[in-house]
């Protein structure tokens, strides 16, 4: 029996098992088994070097956005409208067969937009080019899930289920669970609050399913069994997602209003070029890019090319700003002067841990290089006098 057959058998057993207090331990073990099998499914086959046949797309710009959706929902047309890159679009499905990149120049920043082939149900099991598409999505900073507004809402649920099956968690934050494996000492279970979904016995059973008998675990929130399994697996990717409903020109205004009011959703029309400006603004808002402008001492700030920082890519502190310019700059800094939303007054003298905001201006003040003092008097380690006798300064004759 293959891995896919084992997963389907466990899913069938979970579906026919009643959910109550008596079966929660059994269901927790089944969830752990499915997570282990799906991790094995994503691993490269034995005997290979580990390199798969993915899409070779080099990271470029200050952020990466991936377009994911079913075939023929308008991903290629959207890429052409936003970036100007020509991606083939036609009336038949699977027009795009590989990854096509494009660049969006927005707010003095460059954002890489990737048009990925359409995925189908079962992509997490390897159907179509689902694994390659999902692998590129894992390396992105934001996912735009393009949906057809005229189709059923089930498409969104199918795509979410396929992405979560391979370890992508959309619009979620990492669970507040501390987990550390140990060599000895058994399992230490603690929590800072009352748990309603997981108890000590269920936690032990899940850890034993992973053959973990020595570990330290601390719950800082009322987490679920799925959150505990995600922490134990350790390979989950938490990524932001915006649901983009295209083709709103073929449905009624009431349906458009209903879709637009959903959480993390935006409605557009590539055919009539409706609401594309709002889509770009929403992308910028979700990615959280921070533009920082430099100011040389005694000169005007340079507003031509900012340093773009991000919380997901390193951080937004003064230390991250200096490392972005050059690694050796941090040790020469005395202090920095900051103008902008993050400062209390203009300018504010800040340290390296100060967090910067969008459109801040930063001036770096370096330490002055001190001349090495080789001692005083006859204890000097070097001579400061002239090298030749003829170059010595003659003293004036004494007055008698």
Per-residue pLDDT of the chain (400 residues; tens, 9 = 90+): 677 788 888 888 888 888 887 788 888 888 888 888 877 776 655 555 545 545 667 778 888 998 988 888 888 889 889 887 766 665 545 555 678 888 999 988 999 998 887 776 665 665 655 667 777 778 889 999 999 998 877 888 888 888 888 788 899 999 999 999 998 889 999 999 898 888 888 898 889 888 899 999 999 999 888 899 999 988 888 999 999 999 899 989 999 999 999 989 999 999 898 999 999 999 999 998 999 999 998 889 988 889 999 888 888 999 999 998 888 888 888 889 999 999 998 889 998 899 999 999 999 988 876 544 555 666 666 666 666 776 777 777 777 6
Q: Is the dihedral of CA 194, 198, 199, 204 positive or negative?
A: negative
Tokens of 272: 């009539």
Q: Which CATH superfamily includes the segment(s) 289-366? A: Beta-grasp domain (3.10.20.30)
Q: Are 80 and 86 in contact (CB under 8 A)?
A: yes
Q: Determine the distance from the C-alpha atom of residue 244 to the mean position of all C-alpha atoms in its chain, rounded to a whole number.
A: 19
Q: Are 36 and 212 in contact (CB under 8 A)?
A: no
**Comparing C-alpha atoms, which of 309, 161, 312, 153 is closest to residue 240?**
312
Task: Please report where in the chains the tokens 């390396």 appear, as a residue.
Answer: 139
In angstroms, the Cα distances linking 369 to 12, 218, 333, 353, 374 are: 72, 49, 11, 24, 15
| Rounded to 5°, angle at Cα 396 from 395 and 400 | 130
At residue 105, φ and ψ (nearest 5 deg) are: -95, 105
Q: Which CATH superfamily includes the segment(s) 63-172+237-285? A: P-loop containing nucleotide triphosphate hydrolases (3.40.50.300)
Distance separating alpha carbons of residues 359 and 136, to the nearest angstrom: 30
- N- to C-terminal Cα separation, the chain: 116
CB-based contacts of 225, cutoff 8 Å, min separation 6? 27, 28, 31, 197, 198, 202, 206
| DSSP-assigned states of every residue in 135-171 | HHHHT-SEEEEEEETTS-THHHHHHHHHHHHTTEEET
Task: Please report where in the chains the tokens 């040389």 appear, as a residue.
Answer: 296
At residue 334, φ and ψ (nearest 5 deg) are: -95, -50
In angstroms, the Cα distances linking 291 to 155, 287, 317, 324 are: 36, 12, 12, 12
Distance separating alpha carbons of residues 154 and 271, to the nearest angstrom: 23
**Comparing C-alpha atoms, which of 217, 245, 90, 76 is closest to residue 159?**
245
Domain boundaries, the chain: 3-42+175-233, 63-172+237-285, 289-366
| DSSP-assigned states of every residue in 325-380 | H-GGGGGGEEEEEEESTT-SSSSEEE-TTPBP-TTEEEEEEEPPPPPP---SGGG-
Task: Please report where in the chains the tokens 């099991």 appear, as a residue.
Answer: 125
Helix extents (H) in the chain: 3-16, 24-42, 75-83, 130-138, 154-165, 200-209, 225-233, 253-260, 276-287, 318-325
């Amino acid at each position: 029996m293959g891995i896919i057959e084992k997963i389907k058998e466990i899913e069938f057993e979970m579906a026919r098992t009643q959910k109550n207090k008596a079966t929660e331990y059994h269901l927790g073990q089944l969830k752990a088994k499915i997570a282990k099998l799906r991790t094995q499914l994503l691993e490269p086959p034995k005997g290979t070097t580990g390199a798969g046949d993915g899409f070779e797309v080099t990271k470029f710009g200050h952020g990466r956005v991936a377009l994911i959706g079913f075939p023929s929902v308008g991903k290629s047309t959207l890429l052409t409208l936003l970036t100007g890159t020509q991606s083939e679009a036609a009336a038949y499905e699977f027009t795009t067969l590989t990854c096509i990149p494009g660049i969006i120049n927005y707010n003095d920043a460059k954002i890489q937009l990737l048009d990925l082939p359409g995925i189908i149900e079962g992509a997490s099991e390897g159907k179509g080019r689902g694994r390659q598409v999902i692998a590129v999505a894992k390396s992105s900073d934001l996912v735009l899930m393009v949906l057809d507004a005229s189709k059923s809402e089930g498409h969104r649920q199918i795509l979410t289920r396929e992405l979560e099956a391979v370890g992508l968690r959309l619009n979620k934050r990492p669970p507040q669970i501390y987990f550390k494996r140990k060599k000895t000492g058994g399992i230490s279970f603690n929590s800072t609050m009352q748990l309603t979904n997981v108890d000590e016995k269920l936690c032990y059973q899940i850890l034993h399913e992973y053959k973990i008998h020595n570990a330290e675990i601390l719950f800082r929130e009322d987490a679920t069994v799925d959150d505990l399994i995600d922490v134990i697996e350790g390979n989950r990717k938490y990524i932001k997602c915006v649901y983009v409903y295209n083709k709103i020109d073929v449905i009624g205004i009431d349906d458009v209003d209903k879709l637009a009011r959903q959480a993390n959703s935006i409605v557009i029309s590539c055919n009539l070029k409706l609401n594309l400006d709002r889509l770009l603004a929403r992308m910028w808002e979700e990615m959280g890019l921070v533009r920082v402008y430099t100011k040389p001492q005694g000169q005007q700030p340079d507003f031509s090319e900012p340093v773009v920082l991000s919380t997901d890519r390193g951080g937004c502190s003064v230390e991250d700003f200096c490392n972005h310019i050059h690694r050796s700059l941090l040790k020469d800094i005395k202090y920095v002067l900051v103008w902008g939303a993050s400062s209390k007054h203009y300018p504010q003298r800040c340290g390296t841990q100060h967090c910067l905001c969008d459109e801040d201006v930063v001036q770096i003040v370096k330490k002055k290089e001190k001349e090495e003092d080789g001692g005083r008097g006859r204890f000097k380690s070097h001579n400061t006098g002239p090298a030749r006798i003829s170059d010595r300064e003659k003293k004036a004759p004494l007055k008698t």
